[in-house]
Amino acid sequence: MKIGVLALQGAVSEHVGYLEKGMGNLKITGEIVEVRNNYELDGLDGLIIPGGESTTLSLLMEKEGMFEKLRGVPKIFGTCAGAILLSKNILEPVNGQRSLGFLDIKISRNEYGRQLESFEAPLETKLGNLNGVFIRAPIIEKVGEGIEVLATYGERPVAVQQGNYLATTFHPELSGSTRFHEHFLKIE
């Protein structure tokens, strides 16, 4: 298995660390690649798009010519900013921000507040309980058909899946739990 972590900006080392250490039940045999250009997308079995700043990630992905090539990656897991990039509809995109449109969700950037308003909260998910870490997190305003909600915070979805695409508005790589990474690796 060859799993990439988009390494243009954001929480790259945390995801790579989870994959390299094999924490909990997370077992990966194969290669972990930090993806910095579109050539490093070749031959991936999956890609993690980490949190960071979604506009910056979008512009850097555009500059590297990644948008079209990402259509060939069999499965993608987006966390926080990565969830924004996977969505079909970004409310109020800025500075030419694009998304991949893989998940039929409507998402609003930074709706849980600024950096100082970041928080942690216990989450009951379909994958088990964990501590959700929300840092300038987006809010999923609406889910379309075919979206499975894996976790909510209050009444809002915070983890969703549609086919081979998985997204969380929180940072599972900071939760101390590998449940979402394990689930991602099992997606066929």
User: Are residues 186 and 26 in contact, defined by beta-carbon separation less than 8 angstroms?
Assistant: no
Helix (H) or strand (E) holding 19: helix 12-21
Q: Could you say which of 173, 181, 182, 183 is catalytic? A: 173
Bridge partners (DSSP) listed for residue 139: 108
Q: How far apart are CA 20 and CA 4, in angstroms?
A: 12
User: Which entry of 15, 64, 80, 181 is annotated as an active-site residue?
Assistant: 80
Distances (CA, A) of 137 to 9, 74, 108: 16, 26, 9
Note if 80 is an active site residue: yes
Active site residue 15: no
Catalytic residue among 40, 64, 171, 183: 171
Residue 62: how many CA atoms within 13 Å on its side-chain side?
Answer: 13
Q: Does 31 participate in catalysis according to the annotation?
A: no
Instruction: Give the active site residues.
Output: 80, 171, 173
